[in-house]
Amino acid sequence: MITADGGHITGVRGDPDHPANFGRLCTKGATLNIASDQLGAARALYPVLRTDRDAERTRTTWDVALNHAANKFADVIQTYGADAVGIYISGQLSTEDYYVFNKLAKGLIATNNIDTNSRLCMSSAVSGYKATLGADAPPVCYEDIAHTQCLLIAGSNTAFAHPIIYRRIEDARKANPDLKVIVVDPRRTDTSREADLHLPILPGTDVALFNAMLHVMLWEDMVDPAYIAAHTNGFEELRATVREYSPESVAAVCGVPAADIITAARWFGKSPASLSMYCQGLNQSSHGTDKNAALINLHLATGQIGREGAGPFSLTGQPNAMGGREVGGMANLLSAHRDMANAEHRAEVAKLWGVDDVPATPGKSAMEMFEAAAAGEIKALWIICTNPAQSLPNQVMVRAALEKAEFVIVQEVNAYTETAAYADLLLPAAAWGEKECTVTNSERRITRLHAAISAPGECRPDWEIATDFAHRLGAKLGKSTANLFPYADVEAVFNEHRESTRGRDLDITGLTYALLDEQGPQQWPFPEGAIAGKVRLYVDGVYPTEDGRAKFANVRYLPTAEVIDARYPLHLNTGRLRDQWHGMSRTGMVARLYSHVESPVLSMHGDDMARRSLSTGDLVRVKSRRGELLIPVEMSDDMRIGQVYMPMHWGSRYMSGLGVNALTMDQRDPISKQPELKHAAVQVEKMALPWHMAVMRRDNAVARMLRIQPLLDQFGYASCGLYGRQNPVLVLRIANATPLPAELMKQIDALLDMQDETSIMRYDDAKRGVSKRVLVEDGRVVGVRLTGEIAARDWLKEMMAEGVEIAPLRNWVLAPLSTPPTGSGSRGRIVCNCLNISESQIVAAIAAGEDLPALQAGLKCGTECGSCVPELKRMVLLGKQGAA
């Protein structure tokens, strides 16, 4: 729920009546108003165009921009054919946006080359559902968390990635202390620490684990023969396969004890109600479809589906990944869960749209689209609300594709993303809070959103931009578009999408904007005449297949696409941070969201570090077969020996190099076409960059960060980010083999407005290579540049963020002190972002004897969004162990 004033979003709070969250927000959701405000410095406000690759983009009108785009697309289509263009969309678009772009590609342009970044997160979940249950339809709901007796979480650090769902899990465990939680994850995470059983399997061995669990269930008569006989096909073939997967043999494959596999199987198989939840650990794999299907096999074999507290539940990675799947916004899909390969489905959509036909040739999936652009086959690309120059694997290839394409449109809110730099035409889009639409969440629940403010500048809703472009392109191609794109408003788009679902598994012909406004969010299916949507699917055991039966998937374990060897001996795992999201094009503008993890770091087991003579804070070079990057390393007990971990968020706007996806691989699942972003084989070696610099600048920190980011690649290593809350501080960290050239230093000073020598305190020691500058305004430090010796960086950073007067510390700000002269230590990492409670405060309270309830009563940490509660529990436990 949004509060606004004068065209600005001033506050957000959760809707207490929304059945998905009941008013709860995570740290990212709770700061959306700040993100909206801080994004202003980076906001795309007007169309900007360049007609020559060597020229700068300049502001233009919408008429000029869209006419130019239509001319370019028409020229490409008429010269090379419709398949020479590609459209790459996003799970952050609304359902209506998705629908119009899908129709633009398949109905007007006549190409299936439209795909979505949901290909990176949910396409294996889609193909897993379809391979077993017959349709892309999660059969369970959030309420089932409260009813389950056994919860299996696979490939998801839910406490970080889906914190509001995790609050439900915490509530369920409080209400039912007998609830068993099993977590399957190669790393030790906040989610796995709270599990009753953690299975830290080796990367990519999920299918072997699930088959071994089924082996145990068969051996100990935990399957449901009556359900199997009445409602499924293919069990005998799978039974023969899993005979080979004994817990003892699989223990060596997965790297976990056979006894733990048996325990997991017994808990799941004997439970009155077993629920599974899973995310990218299963999906982002070259065998992601098999992993999803192997887990669903467990539900079918035990009859744990179609009833309270039981069933497979895929957790979506984006706010409207479900909505995009509903409208067919992928290269192999059509509206309302129809398949492109099905001639009858194509005819149904053609009739609905009033066109002769829709193309039968399969379109290119996300990675295929960029590979085709790199090869010169796709000439024009339109990228909407996503950032492939950060998020796709094999960044060297992706960026080569963006360079090679003859014409690139980027439609964005943030004009400074990695991808925006490649745009020939940058179109400004309306953002969250500025447009009306619908979205669908993981439990098939459709929510209607209202605009709280008008879009700034000349920003327009995405569906409207696509519609305007369609009319102009149709005129160039000699095609009538009056009936194809007749939309006077966004509701007209919804109504057409609604009609496309009639008679389908996701039938929503009973929904209207008015009903959603009056009765609130609704689950599908909700056909005409219904008074409510279906809470759970397959309650009657009937599945959306030709014979009404589910199908067991006879899957076998296959290793990761890239195996470790002597040259690349370490497994790299990627994942999410608690307080950042995707490529940070929004969250990266909010200083407090850096407080938990301030900068990029590679996590590594202590034994692996010792073998390489590494210490926490050392710079290392991480190299895969596709690329490399430099990054500080930290020792982490969360890692198994032989594995390293790096969050997915860090791209080239926040660190030197191409970011984490310079390392990841584009090998993909043959069915879902989802790339194996979760795993790569890498090598790690120490890098000696002896010259260090730290630069910090307060006031207009976001704008200053945008100015400095283009320089990051000029240093051996660099990272930049924000710090603080009310008055954020830009923090730039640099390491280099040699001191920077004087001209580059002057450029940095000029970009950060640190040239006024009358306001600067300075210290220079040329012999030692030390130079320090402290900019003072109105009695407070507002800028710092430390070179050669940076011991005071952290306490000066805190002093700047808090606006401390310099007078008592004037004699010390240039001194090589790692702590302030007052004797007080650094506050350190912020654990509770909502209330700004630091690690040092919590540690002190625990040392004084406080437990979790006392911390919540005193410091109040963990009493707002609750995202920090798992970490608080861990800190309390460590405190007790230390005291003992």
pLDDT digits over 145-199, tens only? 999 999 999 999 999 999 999 999 999 999 999 999 999 999 999 999 999 999 9
How many domains does one find in the chain?
5
> Do 232 and 95 share a structural domain?
no
CA–CA gap between residue 380 and residue 377 (Å, rounded): 9
Q: Where does the pLDDT of residue 440 fall: very low under 50, low under 70, confident under 90, or very high at 90 and above?
A: very high
Q: Which pLDDT tens digit goes with each residue over 255-268?
A: 999 999 999 999 99
- Asked if residue 883 has pLDDT above 90, the reply is no
**CA angle at residue 155 from 149 to 161, to 5 degrees?**
90
Domain boundary among 635, 668, 685: 685
Q: Which pLDDT tens digit goes with each residue over 529-581?
A: 999 999 999 999 999 999 999 999 999 999 999 999 999 999 999 999 999 99
- Distances from the Cα of 300 to the Cαs of 34, 246, 293, 549, in angstroms? 45, 20, 10, 11
> Do 133 and 82 share a structural domain?
no
Q: Which pLDDT tens digit goes with each residue over 758-802?
A: 999 999 998 899 999 999 999 999 999 999 999 999 999 999 999
Residue 3 falls within a domain, yes or no?
Answer: no
What domain range includes position 282? 123-314
Centre a 10 Å sphere on the Cβ of residue 498 and count the other Cβ atoms it contains: 21
Which token pair is 196?
């009753």
**Residue pair 404/372 in contact by the 8 Å Cβ criterion:** no
DSSP states of 789-809 as a string?
--TTHHHHHHHHHHT-BSGGG
CA–CA gap between residue 281 and residue 679 (Å, rounded): 9
Which token pair is 236?
């005998």
What phi, psi does 408 have (nearest 5°)?
Answer: -125, 120
CATH of the domain at 144: 3.40.228.10
Residue 30 falls within a domain, yes or no?
Answer: no
Q: Which residues in 157-248 belong to E strands, given as ranges?
A: 180-184, 197-199, 232-233
DSSP states of 396-455 as a string?
HHHHHHHHHSSEEEEEESBTTSTTGGG-SEEEEB--TTSS-EEEE-TTSEEEEE--SSPP
CA–CA gap between residue 188 and residue 610 (Å, rounded): 20
Q: Which residues in 156-206 belong to E strands, given as ranges?
A: 180-184, 197-199
> Do 608 and 497 share a structural domain?
no
Domain boundary among 661, 685, 709: 685
- Asked if residue 852 has pLDDT above 90, the reply is yes
Q: Where does the pLDDT of residue 819 fall: very low under 50, low under 70, confident under 90, or very high at 90 and above?
A: confident
> Do 616 and 472 share a structural domain?
no
Structure confidence at residue 821 (pLDDT)? 79
Task: Give 233's strand partners.
Answer: 551
- Closest alpha carbon to 643 in 567, 582, 717, 568: 568
Question: Stretch 841-852: mean pLDDT, rounded?
Answer: 94
Domain boundary among 658, 685, 712: 685
> Do 331 and 204 share a structural domain?
no
Torsion, Cα 31 36 42 46, to 10 degrees, reads 160
- Our measurement of the distance from residue 776's CA atom to the centroid of its chain's CA atoms, rounded to an integer in Å, reads 39
- Our measurement of the distance from residue 243's CA atom to the centroid of its chain's CA atoms, rounded to an integer in Å, reads 37
With b for 16 or more beta-carbon neighbours within 10 A and e for fewer, the 652-672 pattern comes to: bbbbbbbbbbbbbbbbbbebb
Structure confidence at residue 222 (pLDDT)? 98
Q: Which pLDDT tens digit goes with each residue over 688-746?
A: 999 999 999 999 999 999 999 999 999 999 999 999 998 999 999 999 999 999 999 99
Residue 233 falls within a domain, yes or no?
Answer: yes
- CA end-to-end span of the chain, whole Å? 47
DSSP states of 816-851 as a string?
--SS-TTS-----SEEETTTTEEHHHHHHHHHTT--
Q: Which pLDDT tens digit goes with each residue over 106-153?
A: 999 999 999 999 999 999 999 999 999 999 999 999 999 999 999 999
Under DSSP, the state recorded for 536 is S
Q: What length is written for the chain?
A: 884
pTM (two decimals): 0.96
Structure confidence at residue 827 (pLDDT)? 78
Under DSSP, the state recorded for 210 is H
> Do 207 and 75 share a structural domain?
no
CA–CA gap between residue 129 and residue 142 (Å, rounded): 18
Question: Stretch 315-343: mean pLDDT, rounded?
Answer: 93
Torsion, Cα 224 227 230 236, to 10 degrees, reads -40
> Do 759 and 678 share a structural domain?
no
**Residue pair 41/47 in contact by the 8 Å Cβ criterion:** no
Question: Stretch 831-856: mean pLDDT, rounded?
Answer: 94
Structure confidence at residue 411 (pLDDT)? 98
> Do 368 and 434 share a structural domain?
yes
Residue 535 falls within a domain, yes or no?
Answer: no
Percent of the chain at pLDDT exceeding 90: 95
What 32-38 contacts at long range (C-beta under 8 Å, 24+ apart), as own/partner pairs, is: 32/432, 32/433, 33/2, 33/9, 34/590, 34/592, 35/586, 35/587, 35/589, 35/590, 36/8, 36/9, 36/431, 36/432, 36/433, 37/8, 37/9, 38/589, 38/590, 38/591, 38/702, 38/728
CA–CA gap between residue 598 and residue 632 (Å, rounded): 12
Which token pair is 72?
């370019």
DSSP states of 474-532 as a string?
HHHHT---TTTS--SSHHHHHHHHHHHTTTSTT--TT--HHHHHHH--EESP--TT-SS
What phi, psi does 765 have (nearest 5°)?
Answer: -135, 90
Q: Find out whether the peptide bond into 225 is cis, omega within 30 degrees of 0.
A: no
CA–CA gap between residue 359 and residue 106 (Å, rounded): 7
Structure confidence at residue 686 (pLDDT)? 98
Residue 28 falls within a domain, yes or no?
Answer: no
CATH of the domain at 853: 1.10.10.1100
> Do 622 and 770 share a structural domain?
no
Residue 558 falls within a domain, yes or no?
Answer: no
**Residue pair 565/681 in contact by the 8 Å Cβ criterion:** yes
Residue 7 falls within a domain, yes or no?
Answer: no
> Do 793 and 741 share a structural domain?
yes
Question: Stretch 850-867: mean pLDDT, rounded?
Answer: 94
- Asked if residue 823 has pLDDT above 70, the reply is no
Structure confidence at residue 553 (pLDDT)? 98
- Asked if residue 824 has pLDDT above 70, the reply is no
- Distances from the Cα of 566 to the Cαs of 21, 203, 204, 423, 563, in angstroms? 48, 18, 19, 41, 10
What phi, psi does 31 have (nearest 5°)?
Answer: -110, 15
Residue 150 falls within a domain, yes or no?
Answer: yes
- Asked if residue 884 has pLDDT above 80, the reply is no
Computed over every residue of the chain, the mean pLDDT equals 96
Instruction: Name 294's Cβ contacts closer than 8 Å, sequence gap at least 6.
Output: 206, 207, 210, 211, 553, 555
> Do 261 and 386 share a structural domain?
no
Local structure of 277: helix, strand or coil = strand
Structure confidence at residue 6 (pLDDT)? 85
Structure confidence at residue 156 (pLDDT)? 97
- Distances from the Cα of 212 to the Cαs of 96, 132, 238, in angstroms? 43, 19, 12
> Do 141 and 94 share a structural domain?
no
